[in-house]
Structure 1
């Protein structure tokens, strides 16, 4: 499903215009990103938890040449699905 398809589904299910659904989706994504940028956790009960973690610097290998390269430390986003979300996806 693409972002456009998601917006269309949101608009239909919530009885909104596509423009309103698009703005709502963009606002939700922006709020998640802003929260994670501040190093905070965002928990949506029943859906899951968004958080960030630090990945340490490490050595890697260039797959073409085999040369050792330095991979810098990075802050990476994480998502852990909630139990209700897992159950809903696993229901047959």
Structure 2
């Protein structure tokens, strides 16, 4: 009987199996979101040029994507940052809406 061979160490930054569930477009969107934009208009133009999508459709896809486990496994820091920003925006909108209703 032979001794079990040790498993090779995981490569840093290499995603596990669930990340394979991401489409090429989803992986491109995550890479795109790693960038920083000085002006909102510049990002909207880049979205149209890179993906051929309206900014509304892009953000619908992005919101679905950052809720997925596959995206979280692929780039946990980015996905957590995007989720946090989304929640801050929702809270700000909710606060404005509450003030208007009073």
Q: Which structure's residues are more often strand, by fraction? A: 1
Q: Which structure's residues are more often helix, by fraction? A: 2
Of the two structures, which has the highest relative contact order with CA contacts closer than 8 Å and spacing of 6 or more? 2
TM above 0.5, yes or no, is: no
